[in-house]
Structure 1
Amino acid sequence: MPHLPRLSPRHLLIPTAIAIGVVAAACGGDDTFVVPPIAQGRWIAGDLHTHTTQSADADVSQTLDKVLSKAFNTYGLDWMAVTNHLRVSTRDDKGNLLAAPIPMATGVERYELPRLAALQAPGAAYASKLIFSGFEWDMPTHDHIGIGIFDGGDKLAVSTGGVREFEYLFTTRDATMFDTTDVAAWKAKYGATRYNKTGDDALKAIGWLKDNYPNTSYAVINHPSRNKGSYTVEDFRRFNDLAPNIVFAIEGMVGNQMEPDRGGYTAAYTPENAPLRAYGGVDYVVAKVGGVWDALLGEGRRVWNLTDSDTHFKIVGNNSSGYFPGEYAKNYVFNGASGAATAKDLLQGLRSGKMFSVYGDLINALDFNLAGARERKEMGGELQVVSGEKVTITIRFKSPAKNNYEKPVDSGMAASVKPVVDHVDLIAGDVGAKAAQGTAAYAVATNASTRVVKRFTSADWKLGADGYYTISYDTVASKSQYFRLRGTNLGVDVAGLTQGGEPLADQRTAGADNLQRFNDINDRNYRSLWFYSNPVFVTVR
């Protein structure tokens, strides 16, 4: 195995997340530099993948108003994307049956956006919140992709014209369902061809986003391993090569956590299906140390991890599906702008990689940064150093007084459990050249250099007056690498859940009694909590 720099522990309590300035001698000279402090701003929590009753597979009771109230009034989110399936809709935002099916783009324009505008008007219920419409697309020959398309401007607004055109070009929707004037304009622009069948059509859609909305769109790969054969590492590389500013995230911490098969990962429980499982509720692509995500990061690709609720309903009749937005899964994105966040701020934060994702509110704040002699970089950043330079790794995290665990489930009766981090893993991998299409390296789905460099426990951190637990470690840079974090409330060896600190494949939670099964699923999820940070890159010059 390739050699990683040896880490020697050094405990350091840092009183605030803002005013940190490390003075160090620059390598190779007598000048003194002040390492810049951590940028000011705030973490904003949100969900990028939600459904309402306008999606046919969501429950009729999953109205837009209900989902928003759960997200913002009950679970305290700052932002949310409404991402109904880009399919036909048979209901309005209140669950009323429509006279005839309509394209989802029409439903967004006719029902969703007007209601959101009313709720976000000055003085309205969600005036201080960021809410926008995206959609979930059935990508030809693959699986689901979460997409947002915006028109330019200081705040960005959902491009209704862009959503209509995308739905026409890249779905099998009958052309007669669209406005005849629009269809005539699209045919004049593109001819009679539509792109909704092949893998090349999928790439055509990513290229269309890049051509038309290069700086104001995103495309997130949702639940990547839920269905066999949906994606390969080559697919991820192609998407990212084609539009790195758009395809920059994978939903590794998946939604649908209330399903009997955690995350809805229902493939047969056989050894050959190990890559189709969730591990601590996390897709194998991200959960496997040295796996697909690490292979991408090992090329220096800026591909980030996200979590979402994928809410359709929680418990209805004999079935359970997912938690409400913010109830169990949260993305924390750093917003450096003053005032309420805009879609432009959020998109900038998502692209930057300065974010972390968490289940069950295990943590609600995370400062993870690397400092050399001249600069400091946080999640998503790249620290430039010279060989032999000392690098200080600082980790600071905080947990809330309690999470949203209820017992019985969905009863409104809080279990009043405080989430406690058992350990935090510092994971590192080497960074080399980017694989080129047509080469054997393009199909390699592993990074053999990736490993847990150090496992921190309560013996390694100190609690400050500000509620943050702090760890600081020094290492010496000898090669280009990335560092990322993973934390859990579980011990290193917990029967059926972890082995040697690694999460084990989640097993199906079954049972004939519905109420008991729902409670068992909820208990399973809150017993196994995880957070993942995005990486910080270190480039040795």
Structure 2
Amino acid sequence: MTYKKLMIPSAIAILLTFAACGGDNQPVSSVPSLPSGRWLAGDLHTHTTQSADADVSQTLEKVLSKAFASYGLDWMAVSNHLRVSTRDEKGNTLATSIPMSIGAERYEIPRVQALQAAGTYADKLIFSGFEWDMPTHDHVGIALFDGASVSTKGMKEFEYLFTTRDETMFDATDLATWKAKYGTTRYNKTADDALQAFAWLKTNYPDTSYAVINHPSRNKGSYSIADFRAFNDLAPNIMFAIEGMVGNQMEPDRGGYTAAYTDDNALLRVYGGVDYVVAKLGGPWDALLGEGRRIWNLTDSDTHFKIVGSNSSGYFPGEYAKNYVFNSATGKPLAADLLTGLRSGKMFSVYGDLINALDFNLASTSDRKEMGGELKVGSGDKVTITIRFKSPSKNNYEKPVDSGTAANVKPVVDHVDLIVGDVGAKAAAGTAAYSVATNSSTKVLKRFTSADWKVDADGYYSISYETTATKNQYFRLRGTNLGTDVAGLTAAGEPLADQRTSTTDNTQRFNDINDRNYGSLWFYSNPVFVTLR
């Protein structure tokens, strides 16, 4: 199945929405129209057979086919573990194990280049990143570029400096170069070593790299809110996103979050498949946004395999989780376009294709800002909030799972929450505020249902809401197919912790997991900030 690229709604439609809401006497035409462009869907966190914990059948070409031919993605990062590689891109066992950076250079990147040169996926952005085991923490998704190309030189240097890989596995000439630069020092043991990696990225790839925190709460003690602040303080242009909507959704413990189901492990759960860091209203993400930090939410598949024997892990790229990033360029997306879009925050993330287009913007009488943007207004000014979204005619729900038989279910949004929180001063390192993981001002400002939205001529569901600016704040959205009080799933509109699916029969368990996931769909937007002049 393929998906049509979705253009943003027209400026005319947006201006009419604003006019209908009133505003003051200044002409509506003074409000800037929305920029032209398109939403591009993709995945930053995928694995192939070159990762030892992926199934041997998870070949590069299989993953690419699923991502682009089956599920219509526009871009994808192949992000194998930055560990020892024992297989090539086809799953063949290597005679001698090699560092993953060399595996990407030798097998993965040339095969992608050959496919695209032959016309296969030629219009797609495909690049090699890696998933790094950060010392004393957990996994971080990283990619670094030299111009339009992945920097294999940088990948190898990073693997040497920031992992425990045996140095004899690297090329002797490279090794001599690195030792001339760094001596014998390597940074692969302590929390300070982890910070050195962010500093290295900032020094060497300040505008052409990213470092995304993956599945932040999966393992106890992996990260604290102070860690997120420290990473962002050190390299705000690089550490600008958290994978809040995690992959591995086909595991019995949704997202692979296997901590014991006890009250003291509430912070180690997923809620509607979403990590506590993002899912908790007024929790860690809101604490970061409440300092005005530009740290965005993402989703990924974290694909290793779907169903193999008696085990299940995750969906394929684009099958269940999608990031939509806005791209103003035309033609084939480039790495620079994607990085610009990711950094801008103009993106939203979704499970099960609950929506496939979203316009969320805030307007004064003279300006308009979208996700990731900052609207500057005077105290007492009126702000008009516009929310417009679409859902596809059906999603990828199969019944039975992995059968190729479409369930032909149209995803339907039950409600959309407009969430607001106050923005104050940025916490300083060494102060008590640096460890505060809550934002008590965060609340659901308004819950919208089908009674509140109308269908526009272009098929978008449209909502308009007016508020008055009295302080610095941010506004964000979340939406779901669930009602506000669904036993075991939601309470007063808040998602409840997902429970383990423990059906004994393998086939039935796989179907129960799939039903669980498609019965609990969510989308999250990134915020728009409002700042008083």
1:32–1:278 distance in 2 versus 1, CA, 3 Å = closer
Q: Is the 8 A contact 2:364 2:384 kept in 1?
A: yes
The answer to whether structure 1 residue 211 and structure 2 residue 203 are counterparts is yes
In the alignment, which residue of structure 2 is the partner of 1:181?
Answer: 173
The AA in structure 1 aligned to 2:129 is: G
2:193 and 2:234 map into 1 onto residues whose CA distance is 13
In the alignment, which residue of structure 2 is the partner of 1:517?
Answer: 509
- 1:151-192 Cα distance to aligned partner (Å, 9 max, x none): 12xxx2100000000000000000000001100110010010
The answer to whether structure 1 residue 99 and structure 2 residue 95 are counterparts is yes
Q: Is the 8 A contact 1:25 1:33 kept in 2?
A: no
Deviation of residue 119 (structure 1)?
1.4
The answer to whether structure 1 residue 304 and structure 2 residue 296 are counterparts is yes
Q: 1:43-442 alignment to 2 at 5 Å?
A: 43-121=39-117, 124-152=119-147, 156-442=148-434
Question: Secondary structure at 1:344's aligned position in 2?
Answer: helix
In the alignment, which residue of structure 2 is the partner of 1:9?
Answer: none
1:534 and 1:445 map into 2 onto residues whose CA distance is 19
1:97–1:32 distance in 2 versus 1, CA, 3 Å = closer
- 1:347-399 Cα distance to aligned partner (Å, 9 max, x none): 00000000000000000000000000210000000000000000000000000
Deviation of residue 91 (structure 1)?
0.3
Deviation of residue 69 (structure 1)?
0.2
The answer to whether structure 1 residue 17 and structure 2 residue 10 are counterparts is yes
Q: Is the 8 A contact 2:9 2:359 kept in 1?
A: no
Q: Is the 8 A contact 1:25 1:373 kept in 2?
A: no
Deviation of residue 124 (structure 1)?
1.1
Question: Secondary structure at 2:11's aligned position in 1?
Answer: coil
1:476 and 1:309 map into 2 onto residues whose CA distance is 39
Q: Is the 8 A contact 1:88 1:101 kept in 2?
A: yes
Deviation of residue 17 (structure 1)?
3.5
The AA in structure 2 aligned to 1:462 is: K
Unaligned runs of 5+ residues in structure 1 are 1-14
Question: Secondary structure at 1:410's aligned position in 2?
Answer: coil
Deviation of residue 233 (structure 1)?
0.2
The answer to whether structure 1 residue 443 and structure 2 residue 435 are counterparts is yes
- 1:241-278 Cα distance to aligned partner (Å, 9 max, x none): 00000000000000000000000000000000000000
- Report percent identity of matched pairs: 79
Q: Is the 8 A contact 2:349 2:524 kept in 1?
A: yes
Unaligned runs of 5+ residues in structure 2 are 1-7
1:369 and 1:441 map into 2 onto residues whose CA distance is 31
The AA in structure 1 aligned to 2:409 is: V
Q: Structure 2 length normalisation: TM-score?
A: 0.96
The AA in structure 2 aligned to 1:53 is: T
Deviation of residue 464 (structure 1)?
1.7
Question: Secondary structure at 1:115's aligned position in 2?
Answer: helix
Deviation of residue 33 (structure 1)?
6.1
Question: Which 4+ residue blocks in structure 1 deviate beyond 2 angstroms?
Answer: 15-27, 29-33
Deviation of residue 51 (structure 1)?
0.0
1:149 and 1:65 map into 2 onto residues whose CA distance is 23
1:25 and 1:283 map into 2 onto residues whose CA distance is 39
The AA in structure 1 aligned to 2:144 is: I
Question: Secondary structure at 1:358's aligned position in 2?
Answer: strand
Question: Secondary structure at 1:120's aligned position in 2?
Answer: helix
In the alignment, which residue of structure 1 is the partner of 2:4?
Answer: none
1:478–1:408 distance in 2 versus 1, CA, 3 Å = same
1:75 and 1:504 map into 2 onto residues whose CA distance is 29
How well do the aligned residues superpose, as a CA RMSD in angstroms?
1.4
- 1:432-475 Cα distance to aligned partner (Å, 9 max, x none): 00000011111100000000000000000001221100000111
